[in-house]
Amino acid sequence: MKKTLKNIPLVYLLILVVFFSCSSDDDTPPVDPDDDNGIEQPEPVSALNLAEYDNGSRVMMQAFYWDVEPRFEWWNTISDKLENWADAGINRIWIPPASKGQSGGYSMGYDPSDYYDFGEYDQHGTVPTRFGTREDLENMISTAHDNNIEVIADMVLNHNSGGGLQYNPYREKDTYTLFDETHGNASGMFNRDYEDFYPNSVSNYDPGSLFYEETNLDHHRERVQNWLWKDENSVAKYYKNVMGFDGWRFDYVLGFEDFVIKDWLEEVGGFAVSELWDGNPSVLRNHIEATGSGVFDFAAFYVMEQAFDRNDDLTGLTNDQVWQTNPDKAVTFTANHDTEKDGNEDNIIAPENKLKAYAFIMTHPGYPTLFYLDYENPEFQDQLNKLISIHNSLATGSVNVIYADNDEYIMQRSGDANNPGLILYINTSENAKRRTITTSWDTTVLMDYSENSNYRPQVSENGEVIIEAPANSYAIWSITE
């Protein structure tokens, strides 16, 4: 049945009138930042000292991008930045696979050959890795620890590359499955041959490597488990006890079974995050349950990409994401070395929306990750430093989405007895927006701690306040002194 105004009770019409009189929409004139909208402005106030509101949360840095330059100097490049990163509020760095790959001085480490060559053996045409020498790496790890920053190793545990040819009776042809002192494994540790890869005398089943299928390690074999995580000189224990790594980023976990990570973590512990490239939050949660590892929250990544770029609809920001149920296991991000290099527009958040996406992950639960190229972008760095400071101080408490439509998203973190929390207001329209909301605060003056707005609204006794967000930007509101 078609509804007309005659069918709507008078009280609902009054509610609609009040609602639309308290909001700014695209068809209204742009908001003048100096316009008090008829509201008497309070006296000047002082911002909170955010250092006094340390909520214990911090931020991780992905300390590389694809094909980093200069070659052979990357560990030194990182070392020079660690003190500033620590001062900004970063407590972990994730570095690329640190051992020698088949591509030698050009390898980004994802073609592992010798797990124990960190830039000290002459093989694959080079002594140092693309990133530098073993001494450079050890100095970088030591500098990180001096600045209370943990170093996360990127572990490629399925596909190997760079071995020598040998006849493989299980494939009835020659395969590059011989790894020894003269064939891609100069360290002489974890030598391996075709029996250590699928298929072999005990395993015919390959769990699903999409590439390097002939050199996909069989993790069911006891000697492979011993060399990877069980023995005292295993990869896991050597990286932790000798090299000083503090945790793990597991690459391409679709290429092996969950028990590998579960057993690894039970053996050596440490921070862990898995690259399970799947936007389905249920799949990601199942991996958390099966392994005990955290996950990169690809569900949140694609929610942001669709909301800001593909669909241009901020209601999508309320869709299911891992951080909503597993905040301590959800590593949130806006970009990484893969999303920024593949050229797929559905796998990248557009540069003009990056800061809005960072504002989202820095104010919501989860463990946010900065991408090196974003942080080193001079157009982003000042604002990112502010977002880190806000995240490490005011981003605490339960989440309440106050309002969401195509171009507005307003969310409040409740804080606690000792922390006021915050309100995030994202606006993707071409006009500045203002909206009346009800908060958990009363009779206080608010300010935007991102410093994108100079507006200073007064909260009423019943918690109502008019907040604003600049055009195509965001504001992060909290109380003042």
Catalytic residue positions, numbered: 251, 275
Q: Is 26 annotated as a binding residue?
A: no
* Paired strand residues for 166: 175
Residue in 192, 193, 220 with CA at minimum distance from that of residue 206: 220
Radius of gyration of the chain (CA): 26
Q: What span, in angstroms and rounded, lies between the C-alpha atoms of 297 and 287?
A: 12
CA atoms within 13 A on the CB side of 222: 0
Q: What span, in angstroms and rounded, lies between the C-alpha atoms of 24 and 35?
A: 14
Q: Is 218 annotated as a binding residue?
A: yes
Binding residues for Ca(2+), as ranges, are: 158, 218, 407
Residues annotated within a binding site = 158, 218, 407
